[in-house]
Amino acid sequence: MDIKLSSDFLTGLFFCSLGALAIIIGSDYPIGTAARMGAGYFPLMVSSGLILLGGILIIRSFLTETEEIGAIDVRPLLLLIGSILLFGLLIEDWGFPVAGLAVVIGARIAGRHYKPLETALLAVGLVGFCLVLFSYGLGLHLPATRLW
Amino acid sequence: MELFNDLLLGFSVALTPANLLYGFLGVLLGTVIGVLPGLGPVATISILLPVTFALPAPAALIMLAGIYYGAQYGGSTTAILVNLPGESSSVVTAIDGYQMARKGQAGLALATAALCSFIAGTLATLVIAVAAPALAEVALDFGPADYFSLMLFGLVAAVILAHGSVVKAIGMILVGILLGTIGIDANTSLERYTFGIPAFGDGIDFAVIAMGMFGIGETISNLGQSEGGRSFVKEVHGLWPRWADIKRFIKPALRGTFLGGCLGLLPGGGPVLASFSTYALEKKLSKTPGEFGKGAIEGVAGPEAANNAAAQTAFIPMLTLGLPSSAVMALMIGALMMQGLSPGPQLMNQRPDLFWGLIASMWLGNLMLVVLNLPLVGIWVKLLSVPYRMLYPAIMLFCCIGVYSINNNALDVMLAAIFGGFGYLMKRLHCEPAPLLLGFILGPMIEETLRRALLISHGDPMVFLQRPISLSFLVLTVLLLVVLIAPMIRVTRQRAFEESTD
């Protein structure tokens, strides 16, 4: 079957699945009546609306030519997201300096023209600067890295 | 006389050394980040938002307003010097501003932008001081049904903000509303969509979504584009305009202020519409329309005044009705809620210090922009010459620290990362993140007012049509929808935005 991978089609699919997922997860929430709404009433309304809009988009994608999705830059997407996730994983057990170095180096690798020495200097400089500014300057609580 | 006393109260709040310092810091930080190409006011405010959470409410709002003006002005600087508008409202400034800069008039263009923004800011602040209390008075009579219809109207109007497809924009609003239902339901104390994670009980922090979708998502988009040879104007001299220049730009600035001030009041109108329509107006009024696009000072003065005036008057519906007319105002409402305040007509009576302090600091913020930015223009130029590959890792680090410091919760950082990826992918699908944020902020209020309205009417939906205020908002909403869907207008709207998305 010829499914045009138009942005309308994919967006519609996404809206429909999100709406359906919300309805399935929320199926235990009591609906109640219009006068006394339960926790499930409003989410059900919104999810149904989302499925309706998704349906319109899917139908429209078969009827008219729509914009194609542009190229997705996988490298910055995965590496940048990955390095921020890494920051989240490291910050509590390993402390801010380690997590900070990880996110700067990871983010730098995500871009083009990666140079190891420049990146190392940038990472150390930035983390040092933030440590002074946020930890000592603004008194923000950032977990410390213990070297033992 | 009462106005005078109120303003005096405002200045007494805004002029305390601490608040003055926070305002100054806000303007400075806002400009520093706003100058960076590719980061508009929304991204700048999202990134800097957590810095303000620890402050007392007036200081936090004053600082945020400073960040907003700074970011907006920083965007104009980039537009003039690099021809790279950081946000859609300075797209128009780039047309003639960059041409002026190439002709060696960079200093004049920057000074014109700053002075016209200041003129517009001063007048618009006065308008807020007069109009906001009156409007708040009216809004006190609003019942839940009226609020519901008002917010529906606000959301539909916000669709104008989104580029491209109306259906997708409404869909993004619904996704935002759905995200807003995460957490413990206030009425029945039942957990919704928390997946058993205790941290989700209070719902997702809006700063996490804002920073993820705007800060991180935009950076991914920027990395995908080639850095390429950006040619920018490094020579800035002749900063002070001559008398002849002032005579040329004063009238466009005043016209821009008026038009921008009116358009800023409309939900969804905002700075973008203001700057585009003022540019068109000035071109029509000009005796030498051929000069436009080749470095006409009127083409910088009018739109800059207009977008600043609109940026200011957008505070009126936000402060008096609790209705955000743009993503920036949604962020402001979020910041207010973080401080435990609910924006709306009661705000002015409950916290007059905050209300009038903010208004006074708006004017001070504009003054600081002129005092700060013109002498420091050399530094902004230097900042522009720092390559992007050195800047964005720093921005990512600030984002991480910012998100983490909201609750000292590592989960927030990971959520922000996920929203960053989500925001980027949705952008590739031509879905804008701004409507989602608006939906997320307004969602809980919509649910609350809907429930209360129907509880009062014993479940009868006709209540929305019986109350005159509610009915008028619903009629306006339907009219807007008709206008949006009418094909002819859709084409022109697309054309207007095509220029801005390049």
Judged by CB atoms closer than 8 Å, whether chains meet at B175 and A15 is answered as yes
- Whether A148 is covered by a domain: the verdict is no
Domain membership of residue A143 (yes or no) is: no
Contact A43, A51 (CB under 8 A): no
Domain assignment present for residue A145? The answer is no
Tokens linked to A65: 């030519």
| Residue A26 falls inside a structural domain | yes
List the domain range (segments joined by +) for residue B255: 2-501
CA distance B87 to B107: 21
- Within a 10 A sphere around the Cβ of B163, how many other Cβ atoms? 20
Q: Does A5 touch chain B (CB under 8 A)?
A: no
What pLDDT shows up at residue B502? 39
Q: Is B399 in contact with A73 (Cβ distance < 8 A)?
A: no
Residues of A in contact with B181 (CB under 8 A): 42-43, 46
Cβ neighbourhood burial of B487 (10 Å; 0-12, 13-18, 19+): exposed
Cβ neighbourhood burial of B218 (10 Å; 0-12, 13-18, 19+): buried
Ramachandran angles phi, psi of A68, nearest 5°: -80, 160
How confident is the prediction for chain A on average, in pLDDT? Answer: 84
* Parent domain of A23: 7-63
Q: How far is Cα of residue B334 from the mean position of the Cα atoms in its chain? A: 13
The CA angle B88-B273-B132, to the nearest 5 degrees, is 110
240-299 in B: which are within 8 Å (CB) of A?
A: none
The number of folded domains in chain A is: 2
Sign of the C-alpha dihedral computed for residues B416, B420, B423 and B425 taken in this order: negative
* Number of domains present in the structure of chain B: 1
Identify which has the larger pLDDT, A120 or B378: A120
> Is the Cβ pair A69, B429 closer than 8 Å?
yes
- The answer to the question of residue A54 being in a domain is yes
Using CA atoms, how far residue B114 sits from A116, B69, B276, B304, B325, in Å, is 41, 11, 18, 8, 24
Question: pLDDT by residue (tens digit) across A26-59?
Answer: 888 888 888 888 888 999 999 999 999 999 999 9
A94 touches chain B (CB under 8 A): no
Write out chain A residues lying below 8 Å of B408, CB-based. Answer: 141
Question: Which among B192, B190, B216, B250 has a CA at the least distance from the CA of B414?
Answer: B216
Reported ipTM: 0.90
**Which amino acid is it at A98?**
V
Annotate B338-375 with DSSP letters as a single string: HTT---STHHHHH-HHHHHHHHHHHHHHHHHHHHHHTT
Place of tokens 């004049």: B108
Rounded CA separation B340/B381 (Å): 40
The residue type of A122 is L
Structural domain includes residue A30: yes
Q: What is the pLDDT of residue A139?
A: 65
Contact list in B for residue A99 (CB cut-off 8 A) is: 400
Query: What pLDDT sits at residue A15?
Result: 95
> Which residue do the tokens 């009462």 mark?
B2
**Interatomic CA distance for residues B419 and B415, integer angstroms:** 6
Per-residue pLDDT of chain B (502 residues; tens, 9 = 90+): 677 888 888 888 888 888 888 888 888 888 888 877 667 778 788 888 877 877 888 888 888 888 888 888 888 888 888 776 666 677 788 888 888 888 888 888 888 888 888 899 889 988 888 888 888 777 777 888 888 888 888 888 777 655 667 888 899 999 999 999 998 887 888 888 888 888 888 888 888 888 888 888 888 888 877 655 456 666 666 677 778 888 888 888 899 898 888 878 776 656 777 787 788 888 888 888 778 878 888 888 888 888 888 888 888 888 888 888 777 888 888 888 888 887 778 887 888 888 888 888 888 888 888 887 777 877 877 777 777 788 888 888 888 888 888 788 889 999 999 999 999 999 888 888 888 988 888 888 889 889 989 988 888 888 888 888 889 889 988 887 887 776 545 555 555 555 444 3
Please give the pLDDT value at position B197. 82
